[in-house]
Amino acid sequence: MGKRVLLIEDEPNIIQAIGFILSRDGWTVDTHADGKTALAEIARRGPDLVILDVMLPNRSGFDILQDLRADPATEALPVLMLTARGQKRDRELAERYGASRFMTKPFSNAEVLDSVRELAGS
Amino acid sequence: MSRPPATVFLERRSYRRRRLTDAARMLPLVGALLFLVPLLWAGGDDSAARTAAGGVFIFAVWGALIVIAGALSRHLIRPDPDRAPDGDGAGDTERGA
Amino acid sequence: MIGFNVLVLVCLAYAALLFVVAFAAEKRAERGTVGWLRSPLIYTLSLSIYCTAWTFYGAVGYAVRSGLEFVTIYLGPTLVMVGWWWLVRKLVRIGRAQRITSIADLISSRYGKSTLLGVIVTLLAVIGTTPYIALQLQSVSLSFSVFSAEGGAMPDFEALDNTALVVAAGLALFTILFGTRSLDVNERHHGVVTAIALEAVVKLIALIAVGVFVVWGVAGGPAEMMAQIDASKIAEWQLDGGRWATLIFLSAAAFVCLPRMFHVMVVENADERHVAVASWAFPLYLFAMSLFVIPIAVIGLSVLPGENPDLYVLTVPLALDQDSLAMLSFLGGFSSATSMVIVAAIAVSTMVSNHIVMPIWLSARQGGASMSGDVREVVLLSRRISIGAVLALGYLYFRLSGGGAALAAIGLIAFAGVAQVLPALLGGLFWRGATRRGAAIGLTLGFAVWAYTMFLPSFGDSFVLSAAVLADGPWGIGWLRPHALFGIDGLDPVVHAVFWSMVINSSGFFLGSLFSFPAPLERLQGAQFVNIDDHVRNAPGWTHSPAEAEDLLIMAQRILGPAEAQAVFEAEARAQGKAGYLPNPSPDFVERLERQLAGSVGAATAQAMVAQITGGASVSVEDLLAVADETAQIMEYSSQLETQSQELSRTAAQLREANEKLTQLSIQKDAFLSQISHELRTPMTSIRAFSEILMAGPMSEADQTRFSTIIHDEAIRLTRLLDDLLDLSVLENGEVSLNWQDANLHSVLDRAVAATSSMDGERPLAIRRDARAEDVALVTDPDRLAQVFINLIANARKYCDAEAPELRIEVTSGEAGVTVDFVDNGAGIPKASQSMIFEKFARLTDQGRAGGAGLGLAICREIVAKLGGDIGYLPDQGGAAFRVTLPAAQAKAAE
């Protein structure tokens, strides 16, 4: 398939896990760990899909999402949001700001794969 | 005069008493009016009957006033249920002690 | 026929009876068995002094001249008594509360214990009473002359005169004897009151007896009587509307204002309930007194045409040979005259003594009442002299007026004179705005107008006013004619005088009050008088007086008498819990004492006397507020409101604070929970992901090992996190039990370094220590302290980003305690973050590598605090630097 995913996440083990799962499924996985520079990275890489953690160093995932949606170039970019805080409010915020999908950690691998496939396919 | 607001609701006895004091207040006014009735006779010509008949009238009013005042005072003489037994007996001047 | 001597004998016997009755009553009262002496009946009968000889003899004469008009004189008092709830009740209450001694005292007291007003009213009373007393003397001597004429021995004018003189002297004796026995009015004149009650009965019986005799004995029954009335010339009487209304008003006013009436009605009143009984009983008395006036007049006219109608009550029975009836009638007239004179003399002499003699005496001896002389004696003496003077004046007046017709008219003139007090009295009782100046202006103007239009013209053109002035006005100014003021002509003189004097009096009083400002004491008294029903407590005349109790006692003894004064003082001292005769002169006590004294010498004098000792007669603002009750109530109410609203706002603030705290707590709790959630879920995520990967199927050996290692590490991270959380929760809740013991800092540090070096997989960290400095004895919990050190060393190991990480541990011990610094050679912590590194979950960078949950430093802080020390970040040390301060061993031991 050769589609490219940009994983923006700061926890190394989780990066490894998602990276392993997706690349085994044939995705090209790029990773980025800093919130502040995430937008630039997205623009540079031009991924088909972004997996975005909420709690990032230096900048919140919600802020990044808002900027993405505000920019016409990335308006329609599929974004899968991840959060470990698991509160209802986070899910509501994500929906309001226009996340394509929202997942709470810990997730099952199959769930992540399905979501990524679905989002990229649509 | 300001009454304590607590007495808005009055017992039947207090209410009676209030009306009795109203009557006691009205009595001299009514009496004065009746005593002034002879003023209306002035100017008439039948002076012959005036002294005797006028006297009867005045004394009748007078007697009625006495009777009514007696009836009222009989009730008003009792201590006012609205207030503490007040300065009608001994010791009122020593209230400050 | 009754001889003159018999008459004198009867008269003397009657007088002796009066003396005996009065004396017995006094004795009885002294024994303390007042009983019927103070019954409503006696009170009612004592009021009958309203019916003087002017009533007893004069009413018939009046009826002959003016028909039914004579009843107006009794209708006014009837209305006043029937309307007792309005005025008399209030007067009695005030009189008792303020210990009023006379009407002058009432006016003076109401308007700030004013001496001036007391003097004005007293003068008015003297001028109004003297002719009245003369009238009584005249009636007595006239009645004597009637009998003498009948007896054949015609006494000359000299003898008549002597009769009057003897009567006046006898009355003076009686009055002095029974009127000035005691000083305190509260003891009251039992003897006098009882005697006049007896006289009231005698005159009533006498008049009714004569009446019954003429109706049934002469006319032959009521029906015939009515016929005779209609046939007589009295029937032709034409009612004068103006006079009718004016006289009802005038008699009502005089009934309240006459000094003698005020005396029996208010001063001698023992019980407010007596007024209630008198409200119907006294009108009944008047009714009975008036009932037979017309019949007697009519019969008199038919039996004795041309004779003096003023003596019909006496002459008709005599003419019809009813000697005993005539004698009874004579005694009735005698009673009427004497009772009036006695009470009037007491009332007026009290006024003269309290308002004229005493103030003069006091100001004459500036040294002060307490210094010398017996005031009690002075007061009694001045009163006795006053009584004698009043009676002497009456006699003199009688002599000078020559017993002429002028005297007969004096009744109404006196009424109109004393009625001038009415505006100031009513205004003072019902209007808070009435002031001393208004009262003085009103009284003076009314008095002047009365004198000019009524009193002076009554002497005819022989005295002060010449015939020219009477006819054409002074200096020929027509509109100032005494009987036609402002050109209003044709009015009856009485109506004219009453109308103008009352109008001008009231206007002056009203305007004067409006345009003046009352003194504090006036306002105080005004509030007390007007609101007598609301509070009985008296106003303090001064406040916080430094009066010496002894001076007060000496003065009180002089006025009240030693026994009574000592009793009063002793009772007060006992009430205050003190032995002996000298209580603390509290304002309350001084005020009561003043009232007690006022009962003897009048309010103004009592105040002046006490003020001489207490040194001040000022009224404080607090007193004013306390007594001006509306103000006080409003003040109190509003201050209550203020307190309440303050309380409310305080509560609201507390609530707001609590709410804020709760909100804060809730936010903190939310933040904490979401942090915990994050910290737990993150390792969980790795564990779940990799375990699923492992489960999913075949992979290289290396991958397998790698993934299981991650799972293992994350599991340990989770465990550590939970340990930390539990640790922190225990520490924060204060549930930790510390294991205090002696320890050496060096060994604790050794343990910590060993523990951290055993951690695997970390970069090497060089640790520099100074063993000698570390040799410090501590009393602490070594395990907990080691935990803190381990944390700090582990942090350095984890976060020191230098090429060759190095940690210096520097120990300094001093007076205050021991400081242990941990300084590494890394980049340190940014200034902005330094303040929050000790907070829970404060992690500066991503440190997933070793998986601290950010609770380490928070735990350290809690532990060090529990150990009695402190932990802080040391800025500008070249790297990250933490300082742990521990209390010195001694300090710890000393605790």
Residue C214 has pLDDT above 60, yes or no: yes
Q: Tell me how far apart the alpha carbons of residues C846 and C853 are, in angstroms, rounded to a whole number.
A: 11
Residue whose entry in the numeric block shows the structure tokens 């029903």: C533
Q: Which helix (H) or strand (E) covers residue C553, if one does?
A: helix C549-560
Contacts of C847 in chain A (CB under 8 A): none
pLDDT category of residue C850 using cuts at 50, 70 and 90: very low
Rounded to whole angstroms, what are the CA distances from C814 to C44, C750, C776, C890?
102, 22, 10, 11
Task: Give Cα C126 to chain centroid, integer Å.
Answer: 34
Chains in touch with B (3+ beta-carbon pairs under 8 Å) read C
Q: Tell me how far apart the alpha carbons of residues C68 and C293 are, in angstroms, rounded to a whole number.
A: 9
Residue C536 has pLDDT above 70, yes or no: no
* % of chain C with per-residue pLDDT over 70: 80
Q: Please report the number of interchain residue pairs, chain B to chain C, with beta-carbon separation below 8 angstroms.
A: 146
Q: Where are the domains of chain B?
A: 10-42+50-81
User: Which residue in chain A is spatially nearest to C682 when comparing CA positions?
Assistant: A84
What chain C holds in terms of domains, given with CATH numbers, is 4-362+374-406 (1.20.1730.10), 409-536 (no CATH), 539-617 (no CATH), 630-728 (1.10.287.130), 737-894 (3.30.565.10)
How far away is chain C from the Cα of A66, in angstroms, using its nearest Cα?
A: 22
Read off the tokens for C567. Answer: 């009793």
pLDDT tens per residue, range A64-79:
888 888 888 888 889 9
**Is residue C241 within 8 Å of B40, Cβ to Cβ?**
no
Per-residue model confidence (pLDDT) at position C271: 81
Average pLDDT over residues C516-539: 68
User: Which residue in chain C is spatially nearest to B31 when comparing CA positions?
Assistant: C79
Per-residue model confidence (pLDDT) at position B15: 73
Mean pLDDT for chain C?
79
Residue C849 has pLDDT above 70, yes or no: no
Residue C755 has pLDDT above 70, yes or no: yes
Return the higher-pLDDT residue of C613 and C671.
Answer: C671
Q: Tell me how far apart the alpha carbons of residues C515 and C502 are, in angstroms, rounded to a whole number.
A: 20
Contacts of B42 in chain C (CB under 8 A): 238-241
To test the contact with chain C by mutation, choose from B66, B82, B83, B94 the residue with the greatest count of C C-beta atoms within 10 A, namely B66
Residue C536 has φ and ψ, to the nearest 5°, of -100, -20
Give the sign of the dihedral formed by CA B48, CA B49, CA B50, CA B56: positive
Per-residue model confidence (pLDDT) at position C638: 64
Contacts of C75 in chain B (CB under 8 A): 35, 58, 62
CB–CB contact C848 A16 (8 Å) = no
Read off the tokens for C280. Answer: 């119907």
Mean pLDDT for chain A?
85
Read off the tokens for B64. Answer: 């009625």
To test the contact with chain B by mutation, choose from C236, C280, C592 the residue with the greatest count of B C-beta atoms within 10 A, namely C280
* % of chain B with per-residue pLDDT over 90: 2
Residue A85: name the closest of A64, A102, A67 by CA: A102
CB–CB contact B96 C537 (8 Å) = yes
Contacts of A115 in chain C (CB under 8 A): none
Residue C510 has pLDDT above 80, yes or no: yes
Strand, helix or coil at C102?
coil
Q: Chain C neighbours among B 14-43 (CB < 8 Å)? A: 21, 24-25, 27-29, 31-32, 35-36, 38-39, 41-42
**Is residue C293 within 8 Å of C63, Cβ to Cβ?**
yes
How far away is chain A from the Cα of C853, in angstroms, using its nearest Cα?
A: 13
Residue C489 has pLDDT above 90, yes or no: no
Residue B45 has pLDDT above 80, yes or no: no
Q: Residue C635 is which amino acid?
A: M
Per-residue model confidence (pLDDT) at position C131: 84
Per-residue model confidence (pLDDT) at position C440: 92
Q: Chain A neighbours among C 536-595 (CB < 8 Å)? A: none
To test the contact with chain B by mutation, choose from C279, C543, C631 the residue with the greatest count of B C-beta atoms within 10 A, namely C279
Concatenating the DSSP letter of every residue in B8-29 gives: GS--HHHHHHHHHHHHHHHHHH
Closest Cβ opposite residue C79 in set B31, B49, B88: B31
Strand, helix or coil at B44?
coil
* % of chain C with per-residue pLDDT over 90: 8
Residue C279 neighbours by CB under 8 Å, 6+ apart: B69, B70, B72, B73, C81, C82, C84, C88
Closest Cβ opposite residue A107 in set C685, C690, C714: C685
C848 touches chain A (CB under 8 A): yes
Closest Cβ opposite residue A33 in set C674, C689, C846: C846
pLDDT tens per residue, range C44-78:
999 988 888 888 888 888 888 888 888 898 999 99
Contacts of C682 in chain A (CB under 8 A): 11, 14, 84, 105
Closest Cβ opposite residue C237 in set B50, B59, B62: B50
Average pLDDT over residues C473-491: 68
Strand C766-768 versus strand A4-8 pairing type? unpaired
How far away is chain A from the Cα of C841, in angstroms, using its nearest Cα?
A: 13
Read off the tokens for A12. Answer: 């190394």
CB–CB contact C99 B93 (8 Å) = yes
3-state helix, strand, coil in chain A (%, to 5): 45, 20, 35
Residue C578 has pLDDT above 60, yes or no: yes
Exposed / middle / buried, residue C432 (Cβ in 10 Å: 0-12, 13-18, 19+): middle
Q: Chain A neighbours among C 714-743 (CB < 8 Å)? A: 714
Concatenating the DSSP letter of every residue in C707-760 gives: HHHHHHHHHHHHHHHHHHHHHHHHHHTT------EEEEHHHHHHHHHHHHHT-T
Name the DSSP letter for residue C214.
I
Chains in touch with A (3+ beta-carbon pairs under 8 Å) read C
Q: Please report the number of interchain residue pairs, chain A to chain C, with beta-carbon separation below 8 angstroms.
A: 70
Average pLDDT over residues C417-430: 90
User: Which residue in chain B is spatially nearest to C571 when comparing CA positions?
Assistant: B97
C692 touches chain A (CB under 8 A): yes
B89 touches chain C (CB under 8 A): yes
pLDDT tens per residue, range C106-119:
898 888 888 888 99
CB–CB contact C271 B89 (8 Å) = yes
Read off the tokens for C851. Answer: 């998986």
Residue whose entry in the numeric block shows the structure tokens 């050794």: C750
C846 touches chain A (CB under 8 A): yes
Contacts of C290 in chain B (CB under 8 A): 59
Residue whose entry in the numeric block shows the structure tokens 């109308």: C499
Rounded to whole angstroms, what are the CA distances from C106 to A20, C86, C111, C119?
113, 17, 9, 12
Q: Which of C250-259, C282-291, C610-619, C864-873 has the lowest mean pLDDT?
A: C610-619
**Is residue C311 within 8 Å of C295, Cβ to Cβ?**
no
CB–CB contact C588 B39 (8 Å) = no
Strand, helix or coil at C889?
helix
Return the higher-pLDDT residue of A20 and B52.
Answer: A20
Exposed / middle / buried, residue C472 (Cβ in 10 Å: 0-12, 13-18, 19+): middle
Angle at C815 between CA C809 and CA C818, to 5 degrees: 25
Q: Tell me how far apart the alpha carbons of residues C79 and C85 are, in angstroms, rounded to a whole number.
A: 11
User: Which residue in chain B is spatially nearest to C86 when comparing CA positions?
Assistant: B25
Query: Averaging pLDDT over each range in C19-28, C311-320, C499-508, which range is the top one?
Result: C499-508
Q: Residue C327 is which amino acid?
A: M
Q: Tell me how far apart the alpha carbons of residues C233 and C243 are, in angstroms, rounded to a whole number.
A: 20
Residue B82 has pLDDT above 50, yes or no: no
B59 touches chain C (CB under 8 A): yes
C674 touches chain A (CB under 8 A): yes
**Is residue C482 within 8 Å of C470, Cβ to Cβ?**
yes
CB–CB contact C78 B2 (8 Å) = no
Q: Which of C56-65, C295-304, C343-352, C592-601 has the lowest mean pLDDT?
A: C592-601
Residue C618: name the closest of C112, C106, C111 by CA: C112
Angle at C90 between CA C197 and CA C597, to 5 degrees: 75
pLDDT tens per residue, range C773-806:
888 888 888 888 888 888 888 888 877 778 888 8
CATH superfamily ID and name for A4-121: Response regulator (3.40.50.2300)
Name the DSSP letter for residue C815.
S
Per-residue model confidence (pLDDT) at position A55: 82
C677 touches chain A (CB under 8 A): yes
pLDDT tens per residue, range A27-74:
889 988 888 888 888 888 888 899 998 888 788 888 888 888 888 888
Closest Cβ opposite residue C677 in set A85, A107, A110: A85
Rounded to whole angstroms, what are the CA distances from C613 to A80, C272, C368, C553, C583?
100, 34, 7, 11, 15
Do B and A have ≥3 inter-chain CB pairs under 8 A?
Answer: no
User: Which residue in chain B is spatially nearest to C74 when comparing CA positions?
Assistant: B62
**Is residue C122 within 8 Å of C355, Cβ to Cβ?**
yes
Per-residue model confidence (pLDDT) at position C184: 54
pLDDT category of residue C622 using cuts at 50, 70 and 90: very low
Per-residue model confidence (pLDDT) at position C632: 46
Residue C891 has pLDDT above 70, yes or no: no
Q: Tell me how far apart the alpha carbons of residues C545 and C551 are, in angstroms, rounded to a whole number.
A: 12
User: Which residue in chain B is spatially nearest to C227 when comparing CA positions?
Assistant: B52
Per-residue model confidence (pLDDT) at position A86: 67
Q: Tell me how far apart the alpha carbons of residues C293 and C71 are, in angstroms, rounded to a whole number.
A: 9
Contacts of C87 in chain B (CB under 8 A): none
**Is residue C333 within 8 Å of C57, Cβ to Cβ?**
yes
B63 touches chain C (CB under 8 A): yes
Q: Tell me how far apart the alpha carbons of residues C407 and C413 are, in angstroms, rounded to a whole number.
A: 10
Q: Tell me how far apart the alpha carbons of residues C667 and C669 are, in angstroms, rounded to a whole number.
A: 5
Contacts of B78 in chain C (CB under 8 A): none
Q: Tell me how far apart the alpha carbons of residues C255 and C262 are, in angstroms, rounded to a whole number.
A: 8
Q: Tell me how far apart the alpha carbons of residues C297 and C84 are, in angstroms, rounded to a whole number.
A: 32
Q: Which of C90-94, C365-369, C416-420, C695-699 has the lowest mean pLDDT?
A: C365-369
pTM for this structure?
A: 0.59
How far away is chain C from the Cα of B23, in angstroms, using its nearest Cα?
A: 10
To test the contact with chain C by mutation, choose from A8, A9, A13 the residue with the greatest count of C C-beta atoms within 10 A, namely A13
